[in-house]
Amino acid sequence: MIFEVKAALDEPADMIGAKAHGLVQLLRLGLPVPPAFVIGTPACRAYLRDGRLPDGLDAATDRLGAASVSVRSGAAVSMPGMMNTVLDVRGPIAPAVRDVFASWHTPRAVTYRALHGIPHDAGTAVIVQTMVHGDRDDHSGSGVAFSRDPGTGHPTPYGDVLPRHRGDAVVSGAFNTSPPAVLASREPAVWSTLTAALTTLEQHYRDACHVEFTYESGHLWLLQVRPGGLTPRALVRVTVDLADEGLIDRREAVRRITPSQLRAAATPHMVIRSPDAPSPPERATAPPHGRPAPAGAPQPPLHERPAPAGAPQPPLHERPAPAGAVESPHAFAGPAGLVARGRGASPGVVTGRVALTAEAAVRMRGPVVLVRPETSPLDMHGLATAVGVVTARGGLASHAAVVARALRKPAVVGASGLHALAEGTEITIDGSSGEIALGAQPFTTAAADPHIARLLAWADTISGDHSPRPAEARLAAARALL
């Protein structure tokens, strides 16, 4: 039940987990991965049943020859941030492995599995890996990088990087991050290796991918890879672009998009008006309470693509930031009615009352927007209840952003101006623009999307039916023939 993570390892994700399975693929592609071994999912099930760990843990750790290791979960189906991670372990690793196995039954993990239909009896694998240090020196850091924007599908690298910090600081949301493109000037060798790796992974998976990485003293290490993870709007664009680039054919493009994903791909945008301004009679109305508005030529290699433009609780501005954290860099200034602005992290427009804790989100009646300095896995019950989430700190790969995209809920991160929001205040948030406004605001439906139009034209060619019909019917007719 203990396997060395190497290119020759041929075990399914059900046995070694999706994370270790991805590490094997990275190694087969010749990409840099710290030495590791994986404890299979049967060992987790055995531990949860009778409290016994497999033999040979210390011997396997000794073979790594590492001064310290990380001990991380890795279920067959990704559960980002829902289970425990133990970093910088020195000495016997059994207590850390027990901690990770036991976290399978934490309330946040149980809630996440229930929301995503993941079996409760599957268990998790555990990856024990040589520790690489993003906080070692001025040429070290950590980050998460997507090969394309997971919210829009735009073909430029996207994500977060945090120099002189470990990876847990990036995903915690406690620190404001920079886009990965800052590495182009700060660490050009790391940037070149990272973008080349993302191109290689797209070609292998024939899909957009994202990686977790650490660079230590100027050397890049990849710690995880996952394909997909896109909003419906981004999924349509990426699928059409991949067909244009020759990575998939048009029939595969049509097969990849479901009618429900097509319906969700139309992303609305908020139209901000002053609270005192009357609504014009022809104006679109705000989203109904409790119902979010619907979400959402060959490309050059990634390294040649341009970087993207880059009890009542106390007010958020009175809550202390963690050591080393910085306040949001986004200067706030906007029209009347606009109360705060951050980075759009998950598209969609929703209206709800401010809940300042996860417990308040569960307790309050009606739709709520969870507003926090940052979120953590302990907030999972509040994230599941809320119609949207806003954080004062954190970046596009923070816990709040990743979970919101997984739940298809609008999110704004790194927002300034939240000191004006008391619990119970009604607000509307736009997860694309990052804008937050007082009250229920109107919104406009998305303009015609040329990528949707092209996908539907391919669908009509496949079905042979070019008659006027709803978009979902056109797609369904083609998919029925594939």
Joined tokens for residue 90: 């020195």
- The amino acid occupying position 331 is A
The C-alpha atoms of residue 51 and residue 252 are separated, in whole angstroms, by 46
> Over the stretch 88-127, which tens digit does the pLDDT of each residue have?
999 999 999 999 999 999 999 999 999 889 999 999 999 9
For position 286, what pLDDT does the model report?
36
What does the DSSP 8-state code read for residue 349? E
CA dist list (Å): 185 to 127, 180, 190, 307: 33, 10, 10, 12
CA dist list (Å): 365 to 34, 136, 360: 48, 48, 9
In three-state secondary structure terms, 462 is: helix
In three-state secondary structure terms, 431 is: coil
pLDDT at 297 exceeding the cut of 50: no
Residue with the larger pLDDT of the pair 56 and 296: 56
pLDDT at 312 exceeding the cut of 50: no
Bridge partner residues of 112 (DSSP): none
CB 72 within 8 A of CB 80: no
Residue with the larger pLDDT of the pair 279 and 421: 421
For position 54, what pLDDT does the model report?
96
Q: Is the dihedral of CA 258, 381, 81, 92 positive or negative?
A: negative
The per-residue pLDDT of the chain, averaged, comes to: 87
Proportion of the chain above pLDDT 70, given as a percent: 86
**267-300+328-444 homologous superfamily:** Phosphohistidine domain (3.50.30.10)
pLDDT at 84 exceeding the cut of 50: yes
For position 266, what pLDDT does the model report?
78
Q: Which of 413, 402, 342 is nearest to 171 (CA)?
A: 402
Q: CB 237: neighbour CB atoms within 10 A?
A: 25
When the candidates are 3.40.1160.10, 3.40.1280.10, 3.40.50.300, 3.30.1490.20, the CATH number that belongs to 1-131 is: 3.30.1490.20
pLDDT at 329 exceeding the cut of 60: no
Answering whether pTM is above 0.85, one says: no
Proportion of the chain above pLDDT 90, given as a percent: 72
Query: Average of pLDDT values for 390-418?
Result: 91
Q: Which of 21, 37, 59 is nearest to 130 (CA)?
A: 37
CB 296 within 8 A of CB 231: yes
> Over the stretch 23-69, which tens digit does the pLDDT of each residue have?
999 999 999 999 999 999 999 999 999 999 999 999 999 999 999 99
Backbone angles phi, psi at 450, to 5 degrees: -65, -25
For position 192, what pLDDT does the model report?
97
Q: How confident is the model at residue 336 (pLDDT cuts 50, 70, 90)?
A: low
Residue with the larger pLDDT of the pair 388 and 318: 388
Bridge partner residues of 371 (DSSP): 390
pLDDT at 289 exceeding the cut of 50: no
CA dist list (Å): 341 to 23, 217, 284, 328, 434: 37, 35, 22, 10, 5
Query: Average of pLDDT values for 427-442?
Result: 93
**Domain locations in the chain as residue ranges:** 1-131, 133-230, 232-263+448-479, 267-300+328-444
For position 279, what pLDDT does the model report?
44
Bridge partner residues of 86 (DSSP): 71
The C-alpha atoms of residue 29 and residue 25 are separated, in whole angstroms, by 6
Q: Is the dihedral of CA 377, 378, 383, 388 positive or negative?
A: negative
pLDDT at 83 exceeding the cut of 90: yes
pLDDT at 133 exceeding the cut of 50: yes
The C-alpha atoms of residue 310 and residue 378 are separated, in whole angstroms, by 30
The DSSP element (H or E) to which 89 belongs, if any, is strand 85-89
Q: Do domains 1-131 and 267-300+328-444 have the same CATH topology?
A: no
Instruction: Calculate the CA dihedral of residues 190, 196, 201, 203 and round it to 10 degrees.
Output: 170
> Over the stretch 215-235, which tens digit does the pLDDT of each residue have?
999 999 999 999 988 888 899
Backbone angles phi, psi at 142, to 5 degrees: -140, 160
The DSSP element (H or E) to which 26 belongs, if any, is helix 13-28
Residue with the larger pLDDT of the pair 271 and 56: 56
Backbone angles phi, psi at 205, to 5 degrees: -85, -15
> Over the stretch 372-396, which tens digit does the pLDDT of each residue have?
999 998 999 999 999 999 999 998 8
Bridge partner residues of 202 (DSSP): none
Three-state secondary structure string covering 175-194: CCCECHHHHHHHCHHHHHHH
Residue with the larger pLDDT of the pair 173 and 317: 173
For position 319, what pLDDT does the model report?
42
How distant is the alpha carbon of residue 199 from its chain centre?
19
Residue with the larger pLDDT of the pair 327 and 406: 406
- The amino acid occupying position 150 is P
Joined tokens for residue 227: 């394909």
Sheet holding 124-130, edge to edge: 2-4, 36-39, 124-130, 69-75, 85-89
pLDDT at 326 exceeding the cut of 70: no
Backbone angles phi, psi at 63, to 5 degrees: -65, -30
CB 125 within 8 A of CB 46: no
For position 443, what pLDDT does the model report?
85
**133-230 homologous superfamily:** ATP-grasp fold, B domain (3.30.470.20)
